């Protein structure tokens, strides 16, 4: 199973066109699709949801979503940590203040710390995604209120944190799970769930054990509606191991950076270390590029070689990357830049080298896991500098929209055809049903699957120096070689 990741308007402009692209341009390639937020939103390209029960009319309607869900394994996003400042809940609160039925819906600093102005000691522990994790808003009566806002590029933020411990928020979740199920949805991605639990004296990120209690509740309620949950948690290896041990479904964000590093510095030691980890789950979602950037910190904290990280950052910067930062006061690496994510198209980050680009995807498709492929990572597009210049957001380098004509043109690229053939090979060969191992020596990497259906073996051989790669399938002493 291989799943496509796309915005609702990135492939053709709307959901009906996206369905046609899946049926015609990508026929037989993808068994599923993760459609990034199609709801009305006031910011962050869909991630400041105003109303989940509506589809932005620019994209289509819920009938379009349901029709796609009938044909494909569909995933949609649920922003469990926050809602839009334009949502009916917050508009009602602004209008009616303490008389609003939604007065308990939103999280305030006072609820967390017992005071409206957290101290420097309170702040220093936090994993900060913006310089100040709260925003001030003015009620209709002129009173100023302060709401916790983990995310948002504006001040005040368009993304307001909800109080997950209140009945009104929990009932809001349950109602939406039932609604999603009624539209044929089978999987929800819990965006930013690691930030949902806040507790004084902690980082307010992945707070244990409370985060597990909340995740368990979310999964139980969603499962009642027939919906499975995919968590989106960016955390260091030690926390990834805990999630794996507790059998949560999550992303393996660690190999995203490790693949990039292997190709840029011609050394796969970090990737091999991760793949040989006995605690690494073989049923997590894998990806390289996505709508955000390639994760560095905090995901890779504790396992990165600082000099290698600096080299990767320097190379990608020369290749046109932009970087997002954490605003935490504590640094994980003394001499390395404070990089949260490396932003840009995978093709451009790899120096617009076709072989590196194709090999990166081959590695992802060959490691254990459930691969998801971002649409721009199929076409091998270059950085979208005009959109970056327009918005100032480095993530926009990798969010270009393609018309149907653009898609037809991109499908003619040799690198695109090589990627599609790799996905087809994985779909048809089903080597992931075998036993996996990895071998690495003198910059030569082998990803090996053996005893596939008790019949044959398959391996991917890569020379990181020459960037030559091939797939070898052997059965009953006969070998077949595929040059990628």
For position 452, what pLDDT does the model report?
87
Examine the pLDDT at 334 and tell me if it is beyond 80: no
Report domain 3-80+166-432's class.
alpha beta
What average pLDDT does this structure show over 71-92? 98
What average pLDDT does this structure show over 377-403? 97
Which residue is listed with tokens 């929990």?
Answer: 170
Give the tens place of pLDDT for each residue, 413-453: 999 999 999 999 999 999 999 999 999 999 999 999 999 88
Examine the pLDDT at 335 and tell me if it is beyond 90: no
Residues 6+ apart with CB under 8 A from 421: 484
184 vs 194: CA distance, rounded Å: 27
Examine the pLDDT at 330 and tell me if it is beyond 70: no
Count Cβ atoms below 10 Å from residue 369 Cβ, excluding itself: 20
Query: Across the chain, what does the average pLDDT equal?
Result: 96
What average pLDDT does this structure show over 282-308? 95
Q: Cα–Cα distances in Å, from 388 out to 31, 66, 322, 323? A: 32, 33, 9, 12
DSSP assignment, residue 24? I
What's the pTM? 0.97
Judged by average pLDDT, the poorest of 7-21, 287-301, 318-332 is 318-332
What average pLDDT does this structure show over 354-374? 98
What average pLDDT does this structure show over 449-475? 95
Nearest residue to 443 (alpha-carbon basis) of 420, 423, 419, 469: 469
Q: Are 306 and 51 in contact (CB under 8 A)?
A: no
Give the tens place of pLDDT for each residue, 109-138: 999 999 988 999 899 889 999 999 999 999
Residue 170, token pair as written in the block: 């929990």
Count Cβ atoms below 10 Å from residue 376 Cβ, excluding itself: 27
Give the tens place of pLDDT for each residue, 186-197: 999 999 999 999
DSSP assignment, residue 409? H
What average pLDDT does this structure show over 465-484? 94
pLDDT band at 384 (very low <50, low <70, confident <90, very high): very high
Examine the pLDDT at 331 and tell me if it is beyond 80: no
For position 337, what pLDDT does the model report?
85
Examine the pLDDT at 20 and tell me if it is beyond 80: yes
Examine the pLDDT at 484 and tell me if it is beyond 70: yes
Report domain 88-161's class.
alpha beta
Q: Are strands 159-161 and 82-84 parallel, antiparallel or unpaired?
A: antiparallel
For position 35, what pLDDT does the model report?
98
The distance of Cα 108 from the centroid of its chain, to the nearest Å, equals 27
pLDDT band at 211 (very low <50, low <70, confident <90, very high): very high
Q: Are 440 and 448 in contact (CB under 8 A)?
A: no
For position 333, what pLDDT does the model report?
81
Q: Cα–Cα distances in Å, from 344 out to 295, 311, 428, 470? A: 12, 17, 31, 27
Q: Are 422 and 361 in contact (CB under 8 A)?
A: yes
Examine the pLDDT at 336 and tell me if it is beyond 90: no
198 vs 113: CA distance, rounded Å: 9
What average pLDDT does this structure show over 283-287? 96
155 vs 158: CA distance, rounded Å: 8
For position 433, what pLDDT does the model report?
92
Which residue numbers are catalytic? 191, 232
Examine the pLDDT at 8 and tell me if it is beyond 90: yes
Nearest residue to 183 (alpha-carbon basis) of 49, 46, 39, 374: 39
Domain residues of the chain, as ranges?
3-80+166-432, 88-161, 435-483
Q: Burial-class residue 236 by CB neighbours within 10 Å (0-12, 13-18, 19+).
A: middle
Examine the pLDDT at 329 and tell me if it is beyond 70: no
Examine the pLDDT at 366 and tell me if it is beyond 70: yes
Examine the pLDDT at 174 and tell me if it is beyond 90: yes
CA torsion, ordered 199, 204, 209, 214, to nearest 10 deg? 90
Examine the pLDDT at 327 and tell me if it is beyond 90: no
420 vs 432: CA distance, rounded Å: 18
Q: Are 16 and 35 in contact (CB under 8 A)?
A: no
What average pLDDT does this structure show over 275-290? 95
341 vs 128: CA distance, rounded Å: 14
Scanning 206-345, the segments in alpha helix (DSSP H) are: 210-224, 237-245, 254-265, 269-275, 306-318
Residues 6+ apart with CB under 8 A from 271: 255, 258, 259, 261, 262, 363, 445
Instruction: Compute the half-sphere exposure of residue 291: CA atoms within 13 Å on the CB side of its CA.
Output: 18
């Amino acid at each position: 199973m291989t799943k496509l990741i796309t915005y609702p308007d990135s492939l053709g402009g709307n959901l009906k066109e996206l369905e046609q692209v899946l049926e015609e341009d990508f026929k037989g390639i993808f068994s599923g699709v993760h459609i990034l937020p199609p709801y009305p939103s006031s910011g962050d390209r869909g991630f400041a949801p105003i109303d989940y029960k509506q589809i932005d009319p620019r994209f289509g309607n819920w009938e379009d979503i349901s029709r796609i869900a009938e044909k494909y394994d569909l995933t949609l996003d649920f922003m469990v940590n926050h809602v839009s400042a334009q949502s009916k809940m917050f508009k009602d609160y602004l209008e009616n203040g303490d008389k609003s039925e939604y007065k308990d819906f939103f999280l305030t600093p006072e609820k967390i710390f017992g005071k409206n102005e957290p101290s420097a000691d309170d702040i220093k522990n936090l994993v900060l995604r913006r310089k100040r994790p709260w925003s001030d808003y003015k009620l209709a009566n002129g009173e100023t209120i302060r709401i916790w806002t983990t995310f948002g590029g504006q001040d005040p933020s368009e993304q307001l944190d909800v109080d997950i411990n209140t009945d009104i928020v929990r009932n809001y979740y349950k109602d939406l799970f039932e609604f999603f199920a009624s539209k044929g949805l089978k999987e929800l991605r819990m965006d930013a769930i690691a930030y949902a639990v806040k507790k004084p004296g902690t980082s307010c990120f992945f707070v244990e054990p409370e985060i597990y209690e909340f995740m368990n509740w979310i999964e139980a309620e969603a499962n009642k509606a027939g919906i499975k949950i995919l968590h989106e948690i960016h955390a260091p290896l030690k926390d990834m191991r805990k999630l794996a041990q507790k059998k949560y479904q999550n992303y393996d964000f660690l190999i995203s950076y490790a693949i990039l590093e292997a190709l840029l510095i011609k050394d796969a030691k970090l990737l091999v270390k991760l793949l040989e980890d006995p605690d690494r789950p073989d049923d997590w979602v894998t990806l390289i590029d996505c709508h955000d950037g390639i994760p560095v910190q905090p995901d890779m904290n504790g396992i990165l070689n600082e000099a290698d990280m600096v080299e990767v950052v320097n190379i990608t910067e020369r290749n046109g990357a932009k970087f997002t930062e954490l605003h935490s006061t504590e640094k994980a690496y003394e001499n390395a830049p404070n990089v949260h994510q490396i932003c840009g198209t995978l093709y451009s980050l790899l120096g617009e080298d076709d072989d590196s680009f194709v090999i990166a995807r081959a590695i992802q498709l060959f490691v254990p896991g459930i691969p998801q492929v971002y649409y721009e990572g199929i076409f091998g597009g270059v950085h979208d500098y005009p959109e970056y210049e327009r918005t100032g957001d480095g993530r926009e380098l990798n969010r270009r929209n393609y018309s149907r004509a653009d898609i037809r043109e991109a499908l003619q690229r040799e690198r695109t055809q090589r990627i599609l053939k790799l996905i087809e090979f994985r779909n048809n060969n089903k080597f992931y049903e075998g036993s996996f191992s990895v071998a690495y020596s003198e910059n030569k990497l082998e990803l090996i699957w053996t005893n596939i259906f008790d019949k044959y073996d398959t391996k991917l051989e890569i020379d990181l120096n020459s960037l030559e790669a091939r797939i070898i399938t052997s059965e009953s002493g006969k070998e077949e070689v595929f040059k990628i």
